[in-house]
Amino acid sequence: MSDPRTHLPDGRPRARGLGLPFAENCGPWNALTDVAGVGVGYATIIEGTGEQTVGQGPIRTGVTVIRPRLGGDPASPTWAAIHSLNGNGEMTGSHWIEESGHFTGPIAITNTHSVGMVHHAVIGWLAEQTGSRIGGAYDFALPVVAETSDAYLNDMNGRHVTEGHVRAALDSAVQGPLAEGNVGGGTGMVAYEFKAGTGTASRRVAIDGHDYTVGALVQANHGIRPWLSVLGVPVGEHLQANRFRKRESGSIIAVIGMDVPLLPIQLRRMARRIGLGVGRTGTPSGDSSGDIFLAFSTANPAPLPKCGLGSIDFVPNTSLDPVFLAVVEAVEEAIINALVAAQTMTGRDGRTVHALDHAALIDVMRRYGRLST
């Protein structure tokens, strides 16, 4: 069996599998799911070819679900914070995260015009999971649903993501190695004018004698070719074939999960660092790009107190530098993993977005001394 840190479940290489020298301190799966208790599930919809007929296709879309407390009570709080690097996008539930420092339930990522259906489906699932109804023990839900636009390849106005797809993603969420590229919400997404989509990575850190895990998952749909940088190498300047955009037109959703016990204000610091990881791959965060980030911690899972005093554990600010670096590195690698894993796709109106050519990437990296011969 292939090493999941370097290869996908189907045996194809990830960025490390091509020899790209990312830091060695990743988790056993090099994925967000390395964080204990975190599960990820996908629903992928690929149907039809030819000219677009709104409501019929072609369809190149899906939904990705992150369950921070897989196997636990979905109504328990997950401490979190958000940061918007550029706000041309949507992440529901963000106002409550800003207000309270936590959210409940899963995180879902889909295409721009399916946010409503995914939100609707997650509420129904949460109500069933918690055994509550209107006026019950769990009175309301404010699900976290984020989006990027797959309209270049997908009949996005057809709104093809159904409640069944969302429930399939929720029910299939597991810990373990993850598929990347053309899967889940990332199915029809494009980054740096290459086929991209879903990517993930992780890092292990030690703080005061305790070992922790930081994991990233991105839905990469941003940037133009000349901006692309891989480990500091201006790859996009050299790989100019099959370009189709004159200006940036996309977004990226990035989610960081960790088991480091942190206060919400500290998680906000983590969410800001996500932008540094995104920036390492080259984008300046264009005007039309919705670059929206969420950081959460699975520590402190106890229910919120109804009265009296509550308390949560947290590490001191002076211990956070290794976590900052882990966030930046995991996000950077997750984006490159999305590009390496994605495969050439033809979608609506015969539009084709080509995959990043592995051999060409390796050649450029060698020319800059970033890979051995």
> So which residues are the catalytic ones?
251, 289, 291
User: CA-based angle 22:273:145, to the nearest 5?
Assistant: 100
Q: What are phi and psi of 17, to 5 degrees?
A: -65, -20
Decide if 217 contacts 42 (C-beta within 8 A): no
Give the Å distances, CA to CA, from 214 to 179, 297, 320, 326. Answer: 19, 9, 12, 6
Interatomic CA distance for residues 360 and 363, integer angstroms = 5
Give the Å distances, CA to CA, from 266 to 2, 37, 90, 285. Answer: 37, 21, 23, 23
Interatomic CA distance for residues 119 and 142, integer angstroms = 9
CB atoms within 10 A of CB 196: 33
Q: What are phi and psi of 367, to 5 degrees?
A: -60, -30
Say what angle helices 163-172 and 115-130 make with each other, to 10 degrees. 50
Tell me whether strands 107-111 and 352-353 are parallel, antiparallel or unpaired.
Answer: unpaired
What letter would DSSP give residue 286?
A: -
- 170 conformational bin, left if phi > 0, alpha if psi -120 to 50, beta if neither: alpha
What letter would DSSP give residue 7?
A: B
Tell me whether strands 197-207 and 210-221 are parallel, antiparallel or unpaired.
Answer: antiparallel
SS3 69: coil
